Amino acid sequence: MEIKINKSMLALAEGDITKESTDAIVNAANARLAGGGGVDGAIHRAGGPAIMQECRKIGGCPTGQAVITTGGTLKAKYVIHTVGPRYQDGTKGEALLLKSAYLESLTLASTKNITSIAFPAISTGAYGYPLHEAARIALQTIIEYLKEHQDIQLVRFVLYDHTTYDIFTQELKKLI
């Protein structure tokens, strides 16, 4: 599914984000930038050791913030590492932190003249964020950003499994 927002495109796809050829792909990292499982593990495996070397130099990233490295051997030129919240019970600021993770990633992309960017479903794996709510926050944040900024031409959500893709599609339909 894809929709146009001003001159930009917002697209949903099912797949493996490490194969994306957008200028940047976003990693759902942890605050130590230490690597891990899920999409983080996949990106470091596919992109090679240069990405981890840069992460070590940067040293860490607070929850809700974002940092950038090169893409190593990935097709994407950059990896934006952001840290989503661990979902506890929904009353610990999770929604604002998740929104911030998307917004800080987009803002960082804009400052680097990145015009196309791919996101995974941040916080919805190991960090346990309920999928419908996470999808709604993710999509609302991106739509709001694309309405106000012209520089990013393409935002693609690359969703790893069919259930996640379906839920993002349902939530996007509610928002348009």
| Residue 120 is a binding residue for ligand AR6 (CB under 6 A) | yes
SS3 at position 52: helix
| Residue 97 is a binding residue for ligand AR6 (CB under 6 A) | no
| Part in contact with ligand AR6 (CB under 6 A); list of ranges 10-18, 65-73, 106-114, 141-149 | 10-18
Q: How far is the CB of 150 from ligand AR6 (least distance, A)?
A: 27
Q: Are 105 and 83 in contact (CB under 8 A)?
A: no
Q: How far is the CB of 176 from ligand AR6 (least distance, A)?
A: 22
**Residue for token digits 């996007």?**
172
SS3 at position 9: strand
x/- map, 44-83, ligand AR6, by CB under 6 A:
----------------------------------------
Residue 116's DSSP bridge partners are: 154
| Part in contact with ligand AR6 (CB under 6 A); list of ranges 13-21, 52-60, 136-144, 166-174 | 13-21
Q: What is the C-alpha to C-alpha distance for residues 143 and 146, in angstroms, rounded to an integer?
A: 5
| Residue 130 is a binding residue for ligand AR6 (CB under 6 A) | no
Query: Annotated catalytic, 40?
Result: yes
Q: What is the C-alpha to C-alpha distance for residues 14 and 86, in angstroms, rounded to an integer?
A: 24
Cα within 13 Å of Cα(57), Cβ side:
10
